[in-house]
Amino acid sequence: MNILVLISNVPDTTTKIRFVGDNTAFDDIGIQWIINPWDELALTRAMELKEAGEIEKITVANVGTKATEPTLRKALAVGADEAIRINAEANDAYFVAKQLAEVASDYDIILAGIEASDYNGSAVGGMLAEILDFNSVSAVSGLNIEDGELIVNREIDGGVQILTIGAPVVCIVQKGIAKEPRIPAMRGIMMARKKPLNVVDPVTVEDRTSFESFELPPPKAACIMVEEDNAQDLITLLHEEAKVI
């Protein structure tokens, strides 16, 4: 089986977000870009399956400009065999799904993070499955392969659902799919330079959404300290300020 892992290029989760142009555009100056954490865990699980002999080749893919290539190279350093970059700005979930569908149809398993840590749209994986007419499973926290079939664990209210499903399939994965992301070793970083990174021209697709402006959340209120033996003041603050009682 061959597996495709979708890789989103996102700002480091510790980044202080700024906007420019009267809050109409994200300021990417000085931003450290990383693999989306959910995609990173998906790649880790793909590596584990390959090491177990269940997967022949791992490909990673994203929609992005040349600026996203260091993120793809990191995925190659972790252990992916090849990368695909569709040369376009990833501004819209539908646009991204349509572009990925052009390169994803020949894979047995597609792994997509449940969301990206920048816009938290949670849409690309489901859209891609619909466009390709593939089986789709969401909220995947466990993935194994037995006798050519996928055994999938899904988190549901009050427990875990276990499904058996055949390929081709899009698995939309969440935390739990792997314990810890792989850290590239020096050998992997050197080998990544020689692995293929194929650049594909985008197809013509019209964006379905656009952004007019962005707004930062209001700053947090100052912390109020209460003496440990002053329960009455704490109750008053919870009632009148926090309004939780």
pLDDT for 60 equals 96
Q: In whole angstroms, what is the distance from residue 217 CA to residue 107 CA? A: 41
pLDDT for 13 equals 83
The answer to whether residue 242 sits within a structural domain is: no
The answer to whether residue 34 sits within a structural domain is: yes
State how far the alpha carbon of 57 is from the alpha carbons of 5, 20, 157, in Å. Answer: 11, 42, 34
pLDDT for 201 equals 95
The answer to whether residue 108 sits within a structural domain is: yes
Reported pTM:
0.85
Which one, of 118, 65, 83, 52, lies nearest residue 195 by Cα? 83
pLDDT for 71 equals 94
pLDDT for 100 equals 96
- What CATH number has the domain bearing residue 173? 3.40.50.620
Which one, of 92, 141, 82, 148, lies nearest residue 116 by Cα? 92
What are the pLDDT tens digits along the chain (245 aa)?
899 999 999 988 888 888 888 888 888 888 889 999 999 999 999 999 999 888 899 999 999 999 999 999 999 999 999 999 999 998 889 999 999 999 999 999 999 998 888 888 888 999 999 999 998 999 999 999 988 788 998 888 888 889 898 889 999 998 888 888 888 888 888 888 889 999 999 999 988 888 888 888 888 877 878 787 888 888 888 888 777 77
pLDDT for 243 equals 75
- 195 in Cβ contact with 81 (< 8 Å): yes
The answer to whether residue 233 sits within a structural domain is: no
The DSSP call for residue 195 is: S
Provide the domain limits for residue 195: 2-214
The answer to whether residue 52 sits within a structural domain is: yes
pLDDT for 172 equals 93
- 110 in Cβ contact with 131 (< 8 Å): no
The answer to whether residue 232 sits within a structural domain is: no
Within a 10 A sphere around the Cβ of 224, how many other Cβ atoms? 10
Q: In whole angstroms, what is the distance from residue 154 CA to residue 138 CA? A: 7
Torsion of CA 24, 124, 67, 29, to 10 degrees: 30
The answer to whether residue 80 sits within a structural domain is: yes
Structure token digits, residue 110: 């597609």
pLDDT for 82 equals 95
Domain count for the chain: 1
The answer to whether residue 180 sits within a structural domain is: yes
